[in-house]
Structures are given as C-alpha cells and as structure tokens.
Amino acid sequence: MNRETLENLINRGESEMLEFKQTFNKSVIETLVAFSNTRGGSVLIGISNDRHVVGVSINNETIQKWINEIKQNTSPAIFPIVDVFEVGGKKIVKLQINEFPIKPVAYKDRYFCRKQNSNHKLSIDEIAELRFFSLSYSFDSYEVNTGFEELDNTALQYFKETVTANKRFEFSKDIKADLIKLGIIKKDKLTRAAELLFGLHHTNIHIGRFKTPTTIIDDLMIRSPLILAVNEAMDFIKKNIRVGFEFGGETTKRTEKWQYPIPAIREFLLNAIVHRDYTNPTDLIIKIYDESIEITNPGKLMGDLTVEKLFSGNYVSIHRNKLLTEAFYLTGDIEKYGTGFKRIKDWFKNYPNLNYQVNSLQDFVQVTIESISKKINDELNDELNDELNDELNKGQKAVYIYIKNNKGKQLKDISKDLNMPYGTVDRHIRVLLNKKYIKRVGSKKTGGYNVIK
C-alpha cells in the first residue's frame, strides 16, 4: 500500500472493515476479534477519530510486544498482518486481520462482531449461532427422537408432489430413503427440520384480523407441519384482505387485483419461516388491519446483515436453517441466492399506493406493509409543528405530507393515491404553492411537486 492509497483509506472514514485508534490498547484487540468474527478488517493506529494523522511512537520491540499481547489474550489465537507507514514524518501502524475460519474468536472470554462501524458484544445465543454457521451446521440439523411413522403423510405427499412438479429432485418409491439423500434424515434419525416440515413441532403461526390494535375480528393459530402451514396462512390472509377486478387490454377479461401483492406477502412469510430462530418459543405473529399488515418474526438478522444491505441488494445470503431453506427451494417457493428482495421490489412496482419497510428489533424482525393514505393519516395524528397546524387545514396537510414523502409526483398521482377528488387536490396544491410550502419541478407535461419547507 502506497501513501496515496493509505490517505484514500483514511479519507473514507471508519466502517465495517476499518477503525482508527490513536494508541494501541485493549479496544484494538476487541476490534481485531470483532473483525475476525465478521468479514475481516484493519485497524490504523496513529489516526484520531476525526481522521487526523497524530502518529504513534514505536521502536523495534513495540510491534512484537503488540503481537504477543494479541496472541495471549485471544482464543483461538489470532495473528494480524502488520505494516508500518510514514505520513508527514509521523508513523502509522496498520493491523490487518482476515475473517477467521472457525468462529467465534474471544478476547478474554468475551465475544464481539462488527456491525457497521462499531463493535457489538455477542449474546450467548449469537455465540452458539456463529459457531453453528462456521461449522456449516444449523439448529434445524439437530437430531430429534421423533419416529418416521409419526410424520404427517399428507405433508410428505404434498412435498413429494410439489418438488416433482418443480423438477428440482427426482423421488424414488421410498420417500424415507429420499429424505436421507436430502439430509433431512440422518443416520436413520429425524432432524429438527423433518419434524418442523412434516411433523408435530409445537411452534405456531398466529394470525389475527384486527379492527383496531385492541379489537380482534378473526383469529387463527396454525400448528400444522410447515410445508402445509404456508398455504393455510396465505388462505387466511387472502380471506381477510380486499380484492377487486381490473379490465385491461383489448379483451373484456377481468383480472384479480388484491389489496397487497400476494407473491410479496408469500415471500415475506417464507422468509419469516426459514429464517426464524426456532430456539425462541415466541410465535410468528401476523396482524392484519384495514390498511396494513405486520409480520413479526423471532430471530435477529444473521451475521453482518442489516436492513440497509437488504434493500440495497449488497449482501451475501446467509441461512439460519439450512435444511428448511433447502426444502422450500426444492418446492420452488424460494431461491437460495439472496434474490428475494429484488423480486419483492418488482412486485411492489404495481402498487404505488403502498409502502413497506423492514425493522430489525432486539430479538425480532418485523415487516410492515401499509397504504400511503394510512401513513399520512398517522402523521396527521402526530403532533405537527405549530406553523403547520395554524396555516393548513387537514386536507392541505395530507397533500403536503404526501408530497414530502413522494417527491416529483403529478396531481393525477396524488389524487389517485390519496383517493381524493382531482379538483380538491388541485385547490390544495394552489394553497400550498401560494404559501410557499411546495414548488413545481420539472416540465409542464411530466413535472410534479416537491416541498420547500
């Protein structure tokens, strides 16, 4: 690495794979351990947090002393690659560590991983999960005491027929032998995946239809084998959301138009099932409201995966339950290449009136899909600033909030998405323009509106 490359590295700032330290101390070792347990990275010693080169004082014995301290305080012992650079007469030491093959690595019996630009101390569950993953093992691979004869024949037959139709595996006349080939049965013992997919597993999908957060209209607890539970859950969801019909093209043939994109709902549900933390006894919970759906799933995002990476597509697909993932891949329900969110984005393109978001909570992942009009109403119910309350009526506020969240939209789009008459929207737009809350952008034919305040 030359001086120019080093300066470019410093200018980029701290990240998931880079940290600055002014001196060598225990936090340097913690960071190297975190890098070892994630994707590797480098610590630059002699750089302040605000990216200034302060330099570090070293001699011939300093580096060896640091390496010995790192070795003695890490388990398994790690050995960074060391480089020394000089910038403006000041020395900088770069300690680089690669991702360790067998995880987790500890610093004085404490475990860390790297998330964005900081170190995160691992919980006991995260330590176990990291160990499974590094050994190419997963919780659903554990053997259970359930016998093959206890499995649901309807579930087994459905799996065989669906996989055969998708041509991703060729079944023989002996389905037990086939499940052994697929690794779902090991050494004549059923795995946890076999029990979850085809047996009685005591994990639930709990779905409710709500009128308000405290008023339940309908309720269903699904305890079926997971291979059947997906369709049961989708049937309940479809029963409790709206469906209309559209006529298009040169024919008079009508097509169904569901309140939400059904393939996207199914993809979210399947993601929840295959990525669920089955050591957590909490149910997978789905709440259906008039204008929104929430899917809350036990289990954190795996490894260094973040919500931002999910939406950007810049991530490597990691599977918490490898056998469940393989089974639903064989049925054609999912792909194993991390393409699910790209397909979800495509499905939502035909639903411009909807927003969807993913939230990573403490021990759960929650997906929320809601109509834009609901989102605006929620914002209207929040306490707005005094100036907005004094100057605008409710309809004008709704149009303003819509434009704030949807830049460049035309009047016809605003009318359609808010389900508000075109003339009414036009009047609100004129008021907002006069009060200089919004401005017109783009050409007369294709332009729209953006907020000013």
Q: pLDDT digit string (tens) for 45-75?
A: 999 988 889 999 998 799 999 999 999 999 9
Q: Of residues 452 and 18, which shows the higher confidence score?
A: 18
356 and 214: one domain?
Answer: yes
Instruction: Please report the pLDDT score of residue 151 as a whole number.
Output: 95
β-pair type (284-288, 41-45):
unpaired
For residue 242, the number of C-alpha atoms closer than 13 Å in the C-beta half-sphere is: 8
Same domain, 349 and 228: yes
Most distant CA pair in the chain, distance = 85
Q: Is pLDDT at 373 greater than 60 in this prediction? A: yes
Considering the domain boundaries, does residue 321 fall inside one? no
Instruction: Please identify, among 350, 371, 392, the residue that sits at the C-terminal boundary of a domain.
Output: 371
Q: Tokens 């790209």 — which residue?
A: 342
Count of residues making up the chain: 453
Kindly state whether residues 284 and 351 are assigned to the same domain: yes
Q: What is the pLDDT of residue 414?
A: 87
Domain with 253, as residue range(s), is 205-311+335-371
401 shares a domain with 349: no
Decide if 446 is inside a domain: yes
Q: Are residues 214 and 339 in the same domain?
A: yes
Tens of pLDDT, residues 234-291: 999 999 999 887 766 555 677 788 999 999 999 999 999 999 988 888 899 999 999 9
| Residue 302 and residue 428 in one domain | no
What's the rounded mean pLDDT across residues 380-399? 66
| CA 77/CA 84 separation, integer angstroms | 22
Residue 224 maps to a domain: yes
CA-nearest of 52, 199, 197, 33 to 109 is: 33
Are 391 and 397 in contact by the 8 Å Cβ rule? The answer is no
Type of residue found at 382: D
Task: Tell me if residue 450 falls in helix, strand or coil.
Answer: strand
Q: Contact at 8 Å (CB) between 299 and 275?
A: yes
Rounded Cα gap, residues 50 and 20, in angstroms = 9
Is residue 79 domain-shared with residue 224, that is, in the same domain? no
Residue 386 is predicted with a pLDDT of 47
Are 263 and 343 in the same domain?
yes
State the pLDDT at residue 164: 94
Is 151 inside any structural domain?
no
Segment 183-202 mean pLDDT: 91
What whole-number distance in Å separates Cα of residue 367 and Cα of residue 269?
10
pLDDT at 377: 64
Question: Is 393 found in the same domain as 295?
Answer: no
**320 located within any domain:** no
One domain for residues 250 and 388: no
**Residue 164 covered by a domain:** no
| pLDDT score at 97 | 92
pLDDT tens per residue, range 319-344 = 788 899 999 999 999 886 667 788 89
User: Both 117 and 50 in a single domain?
Assistant: yes
pLDDT at residue number 222: 96
Give one DSSP letter per residue of 244-305, joined into a string. Answer: EEEE-TTS--EEEEESS-HHHHHHHHHHHHHH--TTS-SPEEEEE-SSEEEEEEESPPPTT-
* Nearest alpha-carbon partner for 42 in 2, 73, 83: 83
| The last residue of a domain, from among 122, 145, 175 | 122
The whole-number average pLDDT for the span 123-151 is 82
| CB contact set of 333 (below 8 Å; sequence gap of 6+) | 230, 266, 270
If one counts the domains in the chain, the total is: 3
pLDDT, tens digit (0-9, with 9 covering 90-100), for 143-162: 888 899 999 999 999 999 99
d(CA 375, CA 330): 38
Q: Is the pLDDT of residue 389 over 60?
A: no
Is the pLDDT at 2 greater than 70? The verdict is no
d(CA 238, CA 233): 9
Q: What is the CATH number of the domain that holds 74?
A: 3.30.950.30
Q: For residue 211, is it within any domain?
A: yes
Q: Is residue 444 part of a domain?
A: yes
pLDDT value at residue 390: 61
Pairing of strands 284-288, 205-212: parallel
Using DSSP, state whether 327 is helix, strand or coil.
helix
Cα 342 to Cα 60, 273, 339, 401, distances in angstroms: 53, 19, 5, 28
Strand partners, 441: 448
Whether 118 and 41 share a structural domain? yes
Domain termination site, one of 98, 122, 146: 122
> Looking up tokens 């779905």, which residue turns up?
207
CATH number at residue 441: 1.10.10.10
Give residue 383's pLDDT.
45
Mean pLDDT for all residues in the chain: 87
**Rounded to 5°, angle at Cα 433 from 432 and 434:** 90
| Helix residue spans in 115-253 (DSSP H) | 124-134, 153-166, 175-181, 192-198, 226-239
Q: CA angle at residue 85 from 81 to 89, to 5 degrees?
A: 155
